[in-house]
Structure 1
């Protein structure tokens, strides 16, 4: 469309409508919950990866609170539909932070008060955000002698539930709605990438690994699923040890972990995750915290050791903002001896998760449920 201005001999082009300036993917929503989902994927290549190799990262940090906005909203909706969560009832859950943000969002959306039970290792930024978004924050003061901070938090959840009759706990570790919430994410990946050969996912409660991998296997039966855990975590059969990293790993055994879906597992140590997260930020202008660093390290190796046409999808659960005082803080990292530890180009390998306790990046292609009878003896090959 062309319009004539008040100046003779001069014309200017005017847009048909202001909306044409919006990118096709720009989202509009009447509620914050409407902004959850449809997150972008980013190609991560050279110089973070070897030249000619790379992987696609699903940037779940683009959700209002991170990846766990998805299960928080889904679990609350499902509980309301079943009548398990009554109108106005309190929601109470144990979390290291990210699910707490999702539950605060779900509470605001559906008009429920929210109590988040956490521990002293939570970042001050996260506590501030939870409080700002209306959640009550309860901090336990001592770890459980066997189950660590996670079990101590779960014990405290029971106390809060007893103090508020009619309140409800999502139980993210064992609630199948947690995994079901990730079907839309899997379908987004399918639409964005068309074909996926390898999926790289961190494992904590087991929800997003089970939910995404289960759906993608329906479309790609030969999909290679690679789980990423932290050293000191019990999920895949290692002994429980003190853990610095949060957001992945566990001191208990979540029943949402779908062991038969995994082809292999990698354990990553905190200094290795820090190196990857910082290098990723410096070279690709996209990063995150512990989980993102660990996943990126493993995806980088997979990209370097498979054919360039192999399509690798890695799920980045959140962004870097939460970790300004930890992963991206030099004083914190120096105090915990996290700097200057460039990982080797290849992981160590063990044949069985019970073979020995791992303390650095290690790969195992035998994946079994540590609570199953098969965990008592070494096995060859994979679980599926």
Structure 2
């Protein structure tokens, strides 16, 4: 495959439906400066969806809930979001006729707040983090309050709803059509939906598939301690049940400054870039392309584009205030043998992936 840019054959005929604009996103070949010129990886550009990658699960989950009668015509939809899933729900609400309330926190970018409100969403901002579950748990508690106050309302529960995972089957089939063979999948992990859904389909076709998870420093998903996090869209202060731990060969944690560096390198070198998740995934996928045998075909999922991050990732003043400028990523990650052996504060890799809720603590005396 020699073309640097390709798309899947279209499966939707032209039409006036908003839903027809979701899916069939292109892939782009990414090489220097992340890899030597003769190496690289394929990036799936989900920014070509109207709102990003989470348009897919928002539409799918809403449609399935309507089919099952869980979501009645015209009923309110209420959900917790850091932004991108909110865009998808507003799209689904517009298509299916549901008012949407999005519960978020003060970390939501002002541009995203304004965009969601302009599109018709009600935005409810919690004011205090949960003492142990952080902002995400505080948001979930507020969602429960709003659901109780509005009988008949529905919450997609993106963290635990298996429909979130199923929604990504079409994306996996698009990758197969575009790339033919896939040896390594690099995916960020937040709710766990797209990494689980894509890897399940790909592994059925390619049993040798290696899945590399990309998390944020300060995230609890893979057994690290919870810390305040700047990065949105990946990582979590709770333990989503959609994370398919058994699918991952390894996990990498990436720090905010490293993600900013990678995002800006992408913008300068390939034009196509995105937010925190995109930067973190590009950093790890470039390393995978440098270290795997020649000929290994690597697919990386870029969940969104740069537009919601103009006041953060691409804002020099913000990045300078947060100490995120002039911090180029290392050539290789640090290593942990087990997730609990130390705290990842910069790019770190671990080959042991376990569900932290099922790991038994050491017995006394051992």
TM-score > 0.5, shorter chain as reference: yes
Distance 1:116 1:245 in 2: 19
Cα deviation per residue 1:105-143 (whole Å; 9 max; x = unaligned)?
A: 000000000000000110011111111111110000011
Counterpart of 1:165 in 2: which secondary structure? coil
Correspondence for 2:35 among 40, 49, 55: 49
Match of 2:159 in 1: 173
Shift of 1:373: 3.2
Q: How far does the alpha carbon of each residue in 1:69-95 deviate from its partner, in whole angstroms, 9 at most, with x for none?
A: 000000000000000000110000000
1:138-182 per-position Cα deviation (integer Å, ceiling 9, x unaligned)? 000011010000000001101111121100000000000000000
Greater alpha carbon shift after TM alignment, 360-369 vs 159-168:
159-168
Deviation of the 1:259 alpha carbon: 0.3
- Is residue 206 of structure 1 aligned with residue 170 of structure 2? no
Q: Secondary structure at the match of 1:354?
A: helix
Equivalent residue, structure 1, for 2:4: none
Q: Hey, what does 1:13 align to over in structure 2?
A: none
Task: Verify: 1:143 aligned to 2:129, yes or no.
Answer: yes
Matched, 1:229 2:215: yes
Q: Are 1:304 and 2:290 counterparts?
A: yes
- 1:265 matched to 2:248: no
Distance across 1 between alignment mates of 2:259 and 2:312: 12
Structure 2 unaligned runs (5+)? 1-7
RMSD: 1.4
- In structure 1, runs of 5+ residues without a counterpart are 1-22, 379-384
For normalisation by structure 1, the TM-score amounts to: 0.91
1:126 to 103, 112, 128: 112
Post-superposition CA distance 1:20-60 (Å, at most 9, x none): xxx98697331211100000000001233222110000000
The yes-or-no answer on 1:67 pairing with 2:53 is yes
Q: Partner of 1:115: helix, strand, or coil? A: strand
Number of matched pairs: 355
After superposition, the Cα gap between the structure-2 partners of 1:24 and 1:234, relative to the gap in structure 1 and judged at 3 Å, is closer
Residue equivalent to 1:87? 73
TM-score (norm 2): 0.95
CA distance in 1, matches of 2:272, 2:358: 39
The separation in 2 between residues aligned to 1:40 and 1:316, in whole angstroms, is 11
Preserved contact between residue 90 and residue 168 of structure 1 (Cα < 8 Å): yes
CA contact (8 A) 1:28 1:35 kept: no
User: Cα offset for 1:377?
Assistant: 5.2
Q: Would the aligned equivalents of 1:54 and 1:308 in 2 still touch at CA under 8 Å?
A: no
Q: Is the 8 A contact 2:52 2:303 kept in 1?
A: yes
Alpha-carbon distance between aligned partners in 2 of 1:28 and 1:326, rounded to the nearest angstrom: 36
CA distances 1:222-274 after superposition (whole Å, capped 9, x unpaired): 10000000000000000101111000000000000000000000000000000
Matches of 1:304 and 1:255 in 2, distance apart?
Answer: 32
Contact 1:48 1:283 in 2 (8 A): no
Structure-2 change in CA distance of 1:237 and 1:377 (3 Å): farther
